Structure 1
Amino acid sequence: MTNILDDQQLTAQTWFKDLRNQICAEFEKIESEAGSDATFDYIPWDRQNPDGSPGGGGTQGLMKGKIFEKVGVNISTVDGVFSEEFQAQINGAENDPRFFATGISLVAHMTNPHVPNVHMNTRFLCTTKRWFGGGADLNPAIVYDDDTEQFHARLRSACAPHSPEYYPRFKKWADDYFYIPHRKVHRGVGGIFYDHIELDKESDFDRHFAFTQDVGRAFLDIFPALVRKRMAMEWTDEEKQQQLEWRGRYAEFNLVYDRGTTFGLKTGGNVDAILMSLPPEAKWV
């Protein structure tokens, strides 16, 4: 790969940064509505390849407020060479270990156990192949069926214009992926997860990119609405303990099974940015 981005890479990178800006502004607005002056701290970081050459970098956005106990919204653009061990696991890298990746990753841990936690990421990767991946999933400590229904309905509407197969296919993918085998429980109430939406021809970029943009817009539409619906609810000590125990399950998934965590750590990403997905406080019985 090269440090000079081509049109597709630059277009994707620009969108992920713009989406980050919109999301962070909306989350800060929610904090303001709750009487908090919390804002995001933006911490840039640079990545170096094993041979010492520049390997891109990114910006970690972190806020700790009244409503968002801890929320990270990160963007990154990195390139380099996969290790021999790791390249065999990556689409299109079997015979050429060079890669490029740009994307946004978000995890929000909420103060109020009635407000659902959430994860969202979208990304564009290039090896000898090019593809989009990502998704969003809701992770409430206390489940409300109407929140689950509204979240899924918004993702369904984002998928519908692109393919009637997308929502059922990507919902199942999320259900299968966000599962903790050693606990025999799902991490949350699901959402969508997709990967390897490949560019078989040049014209595929525009339509696959449009879908990825719609996923980001759907998240920006529905999640703040769910936060505002629940953030003024009172909670009990028992409900807070339930949240802390649930966070332990969430941490277990992210440390043991999450592919994004593995990808970031194995490609020399910023450790603090990668592990921002972990909750600020958790409990194991």
Structure 2
Amino acid sequence: MYREVGGVRVHHVEHGDGVPFVVLHGAGVDHREVAGALEPVLAGVDGLRRVYPDLPAHGRTAAPAHLGGGDDVVEVLLRFVDRVTGGGPFVIGGHSLGGYLARAVAARRPDRVAGLALVCPAGRRARDVPPHRVLHDEPGAADVLDRADVPGFEEYLVVRTARTARAYRDHVLPGARLCDEEGFGQVYGRWELRDAPDADAPQPYPTLVLAGRHDASVGWADAVRLLDVYPRASLTVADGAGHALLHEQPDLVAALLRHWLAGLGLPAT
């Protein structure tokens, strides 16, 4: 489905009823990466309406010419969230760039945010990023992929198994193939926001921060620093995972999400 906000037709997928949980994907993919990883967990939570939009220049959301940077994307997301939530309380989260944008949206709507979930969140500049290091390379793991897709899989995953290869094939590649490269450059060439999401004051809502100990894209040290921004944050830096934490440690992510949601009054059934 689509919603027209700020001159942008935002494509999104929804599941369930209840408190809206808006989940933002990372750069270069679409909603299917986060939805594919999280729906097996979130579908078992009563009273939770999951909303997965495609960011501008991703998936089926175009990037009109008036969008020229991350601040413009945040304005679109604010209008989108206001529309889909009807001005009521909501939960928001994101992976990678989606986490950075989710922080900005939450900071602009602090009185309505019931909770914030960040998975391998990007920051204004990644510091202390470890080198890419393969932790597990199962023989024949990439056999389910076309040969042309293997380099991307090997660049993204530090845990290479048949299971993570299937996750990459089913949830990452479809969106990657739809990414509008020209629109992406137009919008995300200036992806850093003018004001940091935490520029005003510590943010009071229950926050879950998950990072991969071997994340060669954004690292984990900046995630630790978020404890100063979110006084009600829980933090996990997971061994056995990199930037693809959602796919490499799905059971851990599921357990931590369930615990956090239960704290919001949204227990799994």
Q: By the TM > 0.5 criterion, same fold? A: no
TM-score (norm. length: structure 1): 0.30
State the TM-score, normalizing by the size of structure 2.
Answer: 0.31
- Greater RCO (CA < 8 Å, at least 6 residues apart): 2
